[in-house]
Amino acid sequence: MMRATKRALLGIAAAATLFPGAALASDDFTLDGETVTWIVGFREGGGTDRLTRLLQAKLSEHLPGNPEIIVLNKPGGGSVTASNDFHANAPTDGTMLTMASTSTLLPPLLGASVASYDPNDWVAVAGFARGATMFGISEQLGVDGTDPAADHAALQNANIRFGLETPISAEMLDLVALDLLDIDARVIFGLSSSDAEAAFQRGEMNLNTDNTRSYLKDFGEDSAVNPVWSYGVIAEDGSLQRDPDLPDVPTFPEFYEAVTGEAPSGPGYELQKNLMNAKVMLSKAIMLPPGTPDEIRDVYIEAMKKVVADPEVAAGLPREVGSMPVNFGEATQRAIAGGTAMDPEVRAWADQFLQENYDASLD
């Protein structure tokens, strides 16, 4: 049972208004005179913060009552600290929401004990997908991005150097992809994403992974670097489509099928789909706390649709998340389920994969 609201724990002075169990007409819901607090579990100036403030600038005018919107940064534990507090204490009256990210969703997916929240209990407003791709230095690896079979053969024979921080992270997506393709890479751990990128630019690493926007900004005009595959985007009908910012690059399943003659399947691929939802489809997600009435959720969904359609916001979104379509409501909730829940068989495969290859474990 959710504890009584204690806004002081979240740095908010106003008292919560609890709605009765009877249905609330959305036409009657207003935030007139209220302050809405938008929790960001990261420091100011980071990617999650920038996106939140881009949307914040227009959200008030599309919510009933035009409330003041403030952003409260509560960094710690890759947003886990703020998420634990949000889950336990956030009011359900529409005066608080949070901007989740991949690092918010991975701890529950991977069974980390530090996360005392289940994002599936949160109420989804919108999700912002951000493409991801694997790319390499063509001269060192022998890949040019034009023929999956030739690129695969080159990668199987190349001296691959791939820098990551830890195997138990969003980049497990890439490690599983290499394993499914039977590609052996020398993985150097202990490198942050910025350190790995710097090492790649110096040629010390020759394979790298990054979001599509960053790849295009850094290497889009560099013929010496080529993408091998992307992770695509899940359309509303559930099908996997190519990354709209890399329309000529095959998705991982397309690359796999071109190489092996069959579509990927099995627990390893199911794990990859879990991780793809967490890393790509839910790069950022706007969530209301558990127990928020449907009527309030619907008001926020409609408001956020208007926000992202605003010309100023629409012009700024590609700088933050690329050209991926925004998903709303039920579509976001489905992605949350896919990115935070792992079947026991898949979990057992993941644990064995980590133990055999990286001397690590989910337990």
Q: What are the residue boundaries of the structural domains of the chain, listed by start?
A: 7-129+282-328, 132-271
Residues in the chain where the model's pLDDT stays below 50? 1-25
H/E run at residue 37: strand 35-40
- Contact criterion met (CB below 8 Å) for 322 and 212: yes
Topology of domain 132-271, CATH: D-Maltodextrin-Binding Protein; domain 2 (3.40.190)
Task: Convert 143-163 to b/e letters by CB count within 10 Å (16 or more is b).
Answer: bebeebeebbebbeebebbbb
Tokens 């979990």, residue located: 347
| C-alpha 96 chain-centroid distance | 21
Cβ neighbours around 76 below 10 Å, total: 14
- State how far the Cα of 55 lies from the Cα of 41, in Å rounded to an integer: 16
Instruction: Residues 7-129+282-328: name the CATH superfamily.
Output: Bordetella uptake gene, domain 1 (3.40.190.150)
Equal fold, 7-129+282-328 vs 132-271: yes
Q: What pLDDT is recorded for position 17? A: 35
The pLDDT of residue 4 is 35
Under a CB-based contact definition with an 8 Å cutoff, are residues 333 and 124 in contact? yes
How far, in Å, are 85, 265, 284 from residue 336 at the CA level? 19, 21, 11
pLDDT at 5: 36
- Per the CB < 8 A criterion, the answer to whether 281 and 239 are in contact is no
Give 120: exposed, middle or buried? Use CB within 10 Å, 0-12, 13-18, 19+: middle
Coil, strand or helix at 44: coil
Residue 95 token pair? 């005066």
Provide the token pair at 304: 């956020």
**The pLDDT value given to residue 236:** 79
Report the 3 state secondary structure along 286-340: EEECCCCCHHHHHHHHHHHHHHHHCHHHHHHHHHHHCCCCEEECHHHHHHHHHHH
* Beta strand segments in 231-283, E: 233-234, 240-241
